Amino acid sequence: MNILLFLAPASIGLGALGLLAFFWTMRSGQYDDPKGDAERILYDHLEDRPPPDPAGKTDAALK
Amino acid sequence: MSAGLALHRDLEAFVRRDDAGRGQLDLLVSGARCAGCISKIEKAVRDLPGVEAARLNLTTGKLAVELAGQDTAPQRVLETVEGLGYRACLFDPGEAAAAQDREGRDLALALGVAGFGAGNVMMFTVPAWAGLFGQELNASTLTVMYWLAAIVATPCALFAGRPFFRSAWASLKRGRANMDVPISIGVILTLMVSFSETILGGRHAYFDAAVTLLFLLLIGRYLDHRLRAGARSAARDLLALQTPVAIRLVDGVERGVPVAEVKVGDRLVVAPGDRIPVDGDVETGCSEIDNALITGETALAAVGPGVRLNAGALNLTGRLIMSATARSEDSTLAAIARLMEAGAQTRSAYVRLADKAAALYVPLVHTAAALTFVGGWALGLGPREALLRAAAVLIVTCPCALGLAVPAVQVAASSRLFRGGVLVKSGAALERLAEVDHVVFDKTGVLTRGRPALIGAPAHLVRLAAPLARASRHPLARALAAEAGLGLVAEACVETPGQGVEGLIDGRRARLGRAAFVGVDGADARETELWFGFEGDVKIRFVFADNLRPDAAGTVAALRRLGLPVEILSGDLPSPVAEVAEAVGVTAWRAALTPFDKVATIEALAVQGRKVLMVGDGLNDAAALAKAHASMAPGAAVDAAQNAADLVFTGEDLRAVVEAIETAREARRRALENFGFSALYNLIATPAAMAGLINPFVAALAMSGSSIVVLLNAARPRLGRRPR
């Protein structure tokens, strides 16, 4: 039974990590332009980071 | 707004400035396809002075430009992109779009959390289910499992449930109960009962059900949102191509102003290819005016100083300076807009299929749950067991399948229509379209192409005149050039607006244009003809007509086969309307109608109990489009008509109308099948829950099983694929 005390938090923690990553990708706009992102990796000089959120408008609305 | 016609305009109205004077500008760019395009466009725009950053979103076609100061005019950015060979226009994304993006993100995050919760809570509830079937799992271990499940499920359910709680609360405040009310009550009651059971050491806790339920429902919600957002932004992009800006002339300087700010007496410049912004009189300049979208008339009207212009008409050939005689809201357009508002109001009273189902379902389920509690207690079950069974009733009847039934079908239907070039603005539009039993067409631009084509001219004459025609921008000359195909262009061409074009063909002077311009006695001159002749030679006449869309007759016949009577309502003169009606095989037609007559006709049909589909493209149709039970507009229609219409078809094919109706009917059938299935499921599950036969395992199985059946039914072929 004691193994549960270790395994349960560990697996939940891993899941939560994935969830946090999803929140991060969502909020940093990484799903905003899937077509463009696929093309942008082809050239080095193209900016391949998502654009900064204008004035953090979407983030503020979520909090 | 093509590159060739670009005049200097002040488009400052489209720049959003912050306090420091830094500006943001959005452009809609079409034609960009690959990394090379991104690179070319971004680099060219970034190299402009005063541009800080430029970023092209390839998925949406939006180019976001940041301006450092006042020194770069938006016009420069526009010209730069157009100079690279891409079509571009300025775009104001507006508040509504931002709010919709936020709603989509909220839903996606809620969906992510619910998915995480539903997956992880299983770690603890699956062992607990094993305990239900007599495997070795003692009571204290079961309680530990439930507590662990509670730790995962509760925060997830509360976060993921927010969209439902908010909507349920808003609906209750208005004194109504939508589908979100039973969902919210079900989720909260389930969590509460599960907590009390766990504390009391009971065997039935439904933490997994609460969060799985939300997960499944959020899938439906998210699909519905994607459908609406996608269709709206596509429709908005079409509209952005027709930017409502007037060019005001003040002391010889042209400034772009929003049409709403134009005052009576303002002098306005209307470039060839632009629409007349408000009613007014011509001061200087000669041109030809295309009234097709206003009145449905196909003949072009020649205008000169002193002639009255109607807002919304298209200026074809010459640059005009006009003085405004009405403000935007007093123009003929505004009267039509008021009619449209009235029409939209009657339409918003339409009750959607899912809401009809909810109105039946909500009281039924709540009565059943309440009866279970009261009845169970009265029959000696004890309050705890009675409450547990009542909660089980709410859980198994919770409308997962019902919540997915309509959105899943509508997403499949509208994505199929989208591939066929039809944009559906909302799910309600599809539902209304499925109910129509009468079709009304506008003539110009709907049954016909809405632009003139050459009729009955021998090929050698066309070849003779073609070099001059290619040099002209006049629509009739263009139709002539299109007929002739590619070839030589005449030399030393001079175009006189509203008259014609003159130039040298093989060294001989020739003219193409109005009868008087070419030197023919213009006594019986008509607007839909061009004359051509070499100096001192025989003059040739070319006649043009607005020809039918090739599939117009086939479409009318197909609609008849679907059992729909077809009628034509046109603003054009009786004789061209009669001609078209005969060609497509329609006997019921009316001509020379004002926009108000059209609305009245639609209303009269509605009073007779007919559900009318209106297909129209002009400003004169806009009010009728808003009033009709369902409406469609072609992609070339004026913005007001596209706004008013439920569906916009972008292709050249009129067959899209038939396809849309068939798809909408099929979608309705599917949705009803799904409802039937949900009802059957509830008929079996509810008595079982009342009898106490449901345990957490059965609840989980029944819930996801019914949702999967509904989704599979929606995704069944035929709806997902275009028919042959």
Helix B656-690 and helix B353-378, axial crossing angle in degrees, nearest 10: 0
Report pLDDT for A57: 42
User: Which range has the top average pLDDT, B30-34, B291-295, B603-607?
Assistant: B603-607
Q: Do A40 and B144 touch (CB under 8 A)?
A: no
- pLDDT over 70 (residue B540): yes
Give the global pTM.
Answer: 0.69
* A12 has a chain B CB within 8 A of its CB: yes
- pLDDT over 80 (residue B591): yes
Question: Which entry of B279, B442, B546, B646 is annotated as an active-site residue?
Answer: B442
Report pLDDT for B111: 94
Residues 93-122 of B with CB under 8 A from A: 98, 101-102, 105-106, 108-109, 112-113, 116, 119-120
Which of B46, B55, B140 is most worth mutating to test chain A (most A CB atoms within 10 A of its CB)? Answer: B55
Q: What single string gives the DSSP state of each residue in B414-428?
A: HHHHHHTTEEE--HH
B294: which residues sit within 8 A by CB, 6+ positions away?
Answer: B310, B312, B313, B332, B571, B618, B619, B620
Burial status of residue B680 (CB atoms within 10 A of its CB: 0-12, 13-18, 19 or more): exposed
Q: Do A8 and B123 touch (CB under 8 A)?
A: yes
Q: Do A8 and B148 touch (CB under 8 A)?
A: yes
* Of B349 and B258, the one with more pLDDT: B258
Q: Which two tokens stand for residue B138?
A: 């003692």
Q: Do A61 and B102 touch (CB under 8 A)?
A: yes
- pLDDT over 70 (residue B419): yes
Closest by CA position to B160, among listed B207, B217, B101: B217
Report pLDDT for B158: 94
Chain mean pLDDT for chain B: 80
- Distance CA(B33)–CA(B55), nearest Å, equals 14
- Distance CA(A62)–CA(B714), nearest Å, equals 32
Q: Which residue of A has its CA nearest to B53?
A: A51
Q: Which two tokens stand for residue B7?
A: 């005049």
Q: Do A8 and B55 touch (CB under 8 A)?
A: no
- Distance CA(B179)–CA(B220), nearest Å, equals 13
- Distance CA(B161)–CA(B143), nearest Å, equals 25
- pLDDT over 70 (residue B515): yes
Q: Looking at the partner chain, which of B56, B59, B64 has a beta carbon nearest the beta carbon of A34?
A: B59
- pLDDT over 70 (residue B720): no
Q: Where are the domains of chain A?
A: 2-62
- pLDDT over 70 (residue A36): yes
Q: For the segment B19-55, what is each residue's pLDDT rounded down to a tens digit?
A: 777 888 888 887 788 888 888 888 888 888 888 888 8
- Is there a catalytic annotation at residue B442? yes
- Distance CA(B435)–CA(B364), nearest Å, equals 27
Residues 39-58 of B with CB under 8 A from A: 39, 42, 55-58
User: Predicted ipTM?
Assistant: 0.79
Q: For the segment B638-683, what is each residue's pLDDT rounded down to a tens digit?
A: 766 777 788 888 877 888 899 999 999 998 998 888 888 888 888 8
